[in-house]
Structure 1
Amino acid sequence: MASTEETGNSSFIAPMNRTCLLDEQFLTRMMPPTITIFFILATSFNSLALWIFCSHIKKKTSIDILMLNLCISDLLFTLTYPLVIIYHSNNNYWIFGNFVCKLQTFLMYCSGVAGIFFLTCISNYRCYVIIKPIQSKSRITKKCTIVICVLIWLLAGIFAFQSFFTINVFELNGKLHCMSYNHPITEEVLLTSNIILFILTFGIPFTSLLVSTLLIQRKLANLTLTAHSENCRHAVRLMMVILCIFVICFLPINVTRLIVSIMRVKSCKNYQQIGVVYYCCVLALYANSFLDPFVYFYAGTKYRSKLINAIKGVAFCNKLPAAPNPTVNQKCDL
């Protein structure tokens, strides 16, 4: 069994004796440059989105509230990137202590699950507005949306809170590791727990997204060329973007995690191959934070118009020569 030991003020668990251990040296070359690029893109796109939501959209609708919360979840997820970059740049050596390892894991799980739920709510909202345009105006209120957002954060926090009990730093070859494939939890994880999490945090949201897409497609097929049909086409494009995000970012890591908990690896070669695939899926998950801003562009015309106007305003001001006229500077002050 794994033993609990102390190093300074941080506790860690030593891994169980295994026949096979994943050689994670390739992560020192793969992770830092890739996640650094992801970090720059995610921080830039989501900071811009947050600026638009907070400064340019004063009267927020239900869809704006959902997108704002999705943006916040992506920014929280992005906060963990620097720690991962430093960890792998430091030859896979964790220097931040046990509590920070737990906190990082909690933030990743909580913001990741919340992001999935908010994407699902955005797609369901657009579907309901298209299918039931009159009822949606009275039933989907701002107050109702705020309550849903609070419930999503609470639910995501509950799902992620188990990380404080299951994830610890551990020692391997004289170095401390955090969130490693070689962690003892990968062998001790309960299959039932993984299946439940797979169903609740991926299976149901993904199925709901597919149903919403099919309903909008059917509605569009029965419409003539009207303003409402154009809204349907725009909603379909939104669904396609969200579906791509689910397939690229969430499907691989959820399926791989489930396979790892089910399979009994019989050879070290297969163990190494599965480990490499797992980390590639983790990278795909990290990409989610800079892909979500594309959802904002298709989800609501208000955000799209405000973003275009803001970009045009900045571009226009950059082209203007320096002039003593104060009114020009005021117009360009965004």
Structure 2
Amino acid sequence: MLLELWPTSQGGSTLVNMRCSFNGTLLMSVLPPVLVTEFLFGVLGNGLALWIFCFHTRPWKSSTVLFFNLAMADFLLNMSLLFRAIYYISDIQWKFGHALCNICLFMLAMNRSGSTLFLMAIAVDRYMRVVHPHHPINSLSISKAMCGVLAMWLLTISLTVHVFNLKHVNTTRCESFTVDTEMDHNLNWHKFEFIFAFYLPMLVVLYCTFHIIVSLRRRQLAQQAKIKKALWFIVLVAVLFLICYLPSNIAQLLILIQTKQLTSKLPDTEVCSALEDLTVVFFITISLTYLNSVLDPAVYYFSSPTFKNICRKVLHLFQTDTAKSTRRNIRETGSQSLSQL
């Protein structure tokens, strides 16, 4: 871990701040295969999902609008991963220019936050349909749902557009997360947004999941095989959400806490080396967040009979008898609320 010096102006005078710069030897060997794999499966899976939503899903419902936009956010995020893989393959040397660096970082930040917000909205949608089935919001028109989605995109963009103003002192580096030995510069909006865009959706997803389970148990529906399977799947989605996003957020919080403690005990020249292992852990765990976007098409496949049948037909696999499945549906109120697009 090296130390970079960069000038800032304050009160008419020029000050020198210190920023940690890692050599990333471990990252160059670990991240490229991970990012390339996520890129390939993410683009194929979410591309197939978008194609099915656009050309084979009729009629659309308000929940379909949410799933479509989640797939769009995931697809755009996955498209940016190839540039990150090339970046690490090239010994952490960015070769595509300053403008494309900022565009790539913005796409990653915007769509990572967008994914968590749309997952939160999907959890709320299922919660309302199961726990409050007669609420007027459940009969929301497609046009109103699209207006709501547009508002979510505008919120996401407003939260992440600051990425274009991030300073890159070293022109060969393309990073949005840095460690500064000056705490005034270490806790910036980008890091706050990264943490906020996870913990708020996490609390909402856990709240909705818990109350869906409680509601179905009270109505004595949870013992039915089909609904029990759907319940296990919602829990699995919540667990995967935590597994993918929680480690990087914990690592980011630990970096902030450790930086504050170390800067008060050690000279600036030793702070970076003391934070190197934790910084490497953060960059590895942040690549795990992209895995959630790769797994989302599996969520569509297993949670929607319509999506599953279309996908099987497209892939020339055995297609289930939908008429037979329809006859098996008993007391579908809870099941449909959990699974249909």
TM-score range, shorter chain: 0.7 to 0.9
Q: Where does the alignment leave 5 or more consecutive residues of structure 1 unmatched?
A: 5-14, 317-334
- Could you tell me which residue of structure 2 aligns to residue 244 of structure 1? 239
The CA RMSD measured in Å over matched residues stands at 2.9
Contact map agreement 2:32 2:89 (CA 8 A) in 1 = yes
Change (3 A) 1:143 1:80: same
- Could you tell me which residue of structure 2 aligns to residue 207 of structure 1? 203
**Over residues 120-162 of structure 1, what are the superposed CA-to-partner deviations in whole Å (9 max), with x where a residue is unaligned?**
1111111111112232575433222111110111011011111
Contact map agreement 1:42 1:289 (CA 8 A) in 2 = yes
* Secondary structure of the structure 2 residue equivalent to 1:240: helix
- Could you tell me which residue of structure 1 aligns to residue 31 of structure 2? 31
Q: Which amino acid aligns with 2:245?
A: F
Q: Which amino acid aligns with 1:259?
A: L
Deviates more, 1:217-226 or 1:178-187: 178-187
Write the distance in 2 (CA, Å) between the matches of 1:99 and 1:169.
14
Contact map agreement 1:169 1:178 (CA 8 A) in 2 = no
Q: 1:65 deviation in Å?
A: 0.9
Contact map agreement 1:198 1:258 (CA 8 A) in 2 = no
Deviates more, 1:91-100 or 1:243-252: 243-252
Contact map agreement 1:194 1:261 (CA 8 A) in 2 = no
Q: 1:249 deviation in Å?
A: 1.7
Structure 2 residue 291 is matched with structure 1 residue 296: no
Write the distance in 2 (CA, Å) between the matches of 1:250 and 1:69.
19
* Secondary structure of the structure 2 residue equivalent to 1:93: coil
**Over residues 18-54 of structure 1, what are the superposed CA-to-partner deviations in whole Å (9 max), with x where a residue is unaligned?**
6x64331222211212211111111111111112111
Q: 1:105 deviation in Å?
A: 0.9
**Over residues 214-247 of structure 1, what are the superposed CA-to-partner deviations in whole Å (9 max), with x where a residue is unaligned?**
11111121123599x6675355234223312321
- Could you tell me which residue of structure 1 aligns to residue 280 of structure 2? 276
Q: 1:308 deviation in Å?
A: 3.0
Contact map agreement 2:113 2:194 (CA 8 A) in 1 = no
- Could you tell me which residue of structure 1 aligns to residue 333 of structure 2? none
Q: Which amino acid aligns with 1:282?
A: I
Q: 1:192 deviation in Å?
A: 7.0
Q: 1:185 deviation in Å?
A: 9.6
Q: 1:181 deviation in Å?
A: 5.7
TM-score, with structure 2 as normaliser: 0.78
Matches within 5 A, 1:1-334: 2-3=6-7, 16-17=17-18, 21-135=21-135, 139-168=139-168, 170-171=170-171, 176-179=172-175, 189=185, 191=187, 193=189, 196-197=192-193, 200-225=196-221, 232-233=227-228, 235-264=230-259, 265=262, 266=266, 267-311=271-315, 314-315=316-317
Change (3 A) 1:138 1:40: closer
Q: 1:271 deviation in Å?
A: 1.1
| % same residue | 24
Q: 1:290 deviation in Å?
A: 0.7
**Over residues 266-306 of structure 1, what are the superposed CA-to-partner deviations in whole Å (9 max), with x where a residue is unaligned?**
55553111012111212211212211112212443322332
Write the distance in 2 (CA, Å) between the matches of 1:48 and 1:110.
22
TM-score, with structure 1 as normaliser: 0.79
* Secondary structure of the structure 1 residue equivalent to 2:135: helix
Change (3 A) 1:226 1:261: closer
Q: 1:98 deviation in Å?
A: 0.9
Write the distance in 2 (CA, Å) between the matches of 1:189 and 1:307.
48
Q: 1:197 deviation in Å?
A: 2.6
Deviates more, 1:62-71 or 1:236-245: 236-245
Change (3 A) 1:185 1:129: farther
Write the distance in 2 (CA, Å) between the matches of 1:277 and 1:100.
26
Write the distance in 2 (CA, Å) between the matches of 1:70 and 1:210.
19
